[in-house]
Amino acid sequence: MQPINREKLKERRIREGFNQRQLAILCQCSQAAISALETGTMKQCSEDLAAQICKWLKRDLDELFIRKEDSRAHRMTNAAGSTRRRALIQI
């Protein structure tokens, strides 16, 4: 999924009263992922992440994102969500 308008994404986040970190926590991703989507550093994200962002920004998916059929983006999570970290903790 690719943001239709990065500025609109940022404006909606601010309008709903979230900073990047707060939205990232709600969406279970990193603050860097939210920042990268808003600045254009990250061109696309997973449909799951886009859906979470839209849920918290109270917008339909097609209002903020466009589906790119020819590409796949894997979900970007923080270290707490990684399986590698869980495996290391169990050792």
Half-sphere exposure of 36 (CA within 13 A, CB side): 14
Each residue of 43-66: pLDDT tens digit?
Answer: 999 999 999 999 999 999 999 999
Q: What are phi and psi of 2, to 5 degrees?
A: -120, 135
Q: What is the DSSP code (8-state) at residue 82?
A: -
pLDDT > 90 fraction of the chain, expressed in percent and rounded: 73
pLDDT for 34 beyond 70: yes
Number of Cβ atoms within 10 Å of the Cβ of 52: 19
Tell me the pTM.
Answer: 0.73
